[in-house]
């Protein structure tokens, strides 16, 4: 039986300034050039907590790779003038089992009823990818306490949309809904990236959101 949409996709939704800048930074890190990233980060000054930007940068290595993440960190330090924290007590866990436990819990929230099929599908690609997805991705990174999961998922949506990773976008549209967002908020996130998403792709992504919202 089809469930009702969690929110009407054409509902007007204005994002809070902090969230709007968060998703734009995430999208720019993943898919924009350094000049654009600098502009996006500069626009965010005074509108978003520096610690939130740090968390967005840190998680970007999962979706944009280390080179873009390092460049983003360097850009943010230069643009903002904020130094990195001297230490990060959650950068390492007492043991790998703790990261795996946290990762299983977070991944189960994001994927909901699709969690077990996801694990089976990824293991079929390679067992190492399944292990790293859970322990490294969802445990070490996305379970960090510095940013709520809903915001993390919206930033992942932004990264996938700007880089046109439609398969992963589909998954994380569901993930954002499962983490507490709604269709109107996600639609506003996509609209806020209109200058960063390649031309012609935004309408496709909004149609995909409609389908996901009705699932």
Q: What is the DSSP secondary-structure string of the chain?
A: -PPPPSS-TT---PPPHHHHHHHHHHHHHHHS-HHHHHHHHHHHTTTS-HHHHHHHHHHHHHHH-HHHHHHHHHHHHHHH-PPPPS--TTSS-SSHHHHHHHHHHHHHHHHGGGHHHHHHHHHHH-HHHHHIIIIIIIIIITT-TTS-HHHHHHHHHHHHHHTT-HHHHHHHHHHHHHTT--HHHHHHHHHHTTTTSPTTTHHHHHHHHHHHHH-
Neighbours of 48 (CB within 10 A): 22
pLDDT, tens digit, for every residue of 136-163?
Answer: 999 999 999 999 999 999 999 999 999 9
What percent of the chain clears pLDDT 70, i.e. is strictly above it? 94
- pLDDT at residue 94, as a whole number: 81
pLDDT tens-place string over residues 53-94 = 999 999 999 999 999 999 999 999 999 999 999 999 889 878
CA-wise closest residue to 153 among 72, 69, 55, 76: 55
pLDDT, position 12: 60
The model's pTM is 0.92
CB-based contact 189:23 (threshold 8 Å): yes
Q: Mean pLDDT score of the chain, rounded to an integer?
A: 93
User: Going by C-beta distance under 8 Å and a sequence separation of 6 or more, which residues neighbour residue 128?
Assistant: none
Q: What is the CATH number of domain 17-84+149-214?
A: 1.20.1290
Q: How far apart are CA 114 and CA 157, in angstroms?
A: 18
Domain residue ranges in the chain: 17-84+149-214
- pLDDT score of 63: 95
pLDDT at position 13 is 80
């Amino acid at each position: 039986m089809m469930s009702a949409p969690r929110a009407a996709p054409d509902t007007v939704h204005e994002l809070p300034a902090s969230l709007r800048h968060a998703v734009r930074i995430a999208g720019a890190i993943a898919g924009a050039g350094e000049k654009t990233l600098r502009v996006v980060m500069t626009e965010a000054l005074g509108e978003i907590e520096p610690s939130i930007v740090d968390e967005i940068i840190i998680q970007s290595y999962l979706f944009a790779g280390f080179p873009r993440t390092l460049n983003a960190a360097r850009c943010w330090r230069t643009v903002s003038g904020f130094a990195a924290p001297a230490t990060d007590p959650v950068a390492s866990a007492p043991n790998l089992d703790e990261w795996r436990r946290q990762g299983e819990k977070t991944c189960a929230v994001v994927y909901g009823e699709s969690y077990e099929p996801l694990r089976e599908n990824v293991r079929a690609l390679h067992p190492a990818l399944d292990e790293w997805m859970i322990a490294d991705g969802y445990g070490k990174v996305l379970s960090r306490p510095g940013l709520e999961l809903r915001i993390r998922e919206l930033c992942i949506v932004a990264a996938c949309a700007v880089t046109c990773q439609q398969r992963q976008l589909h998954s994380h549209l569901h993930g954002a809904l499962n983490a507490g967002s709604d269709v109107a908020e996600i639609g506003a996130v996509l609209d806020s990236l209109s200058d960063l998403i390649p031309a012609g792709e935004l309408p496709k992504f909004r149609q995909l959101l409609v389908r996901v919202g009705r699932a």
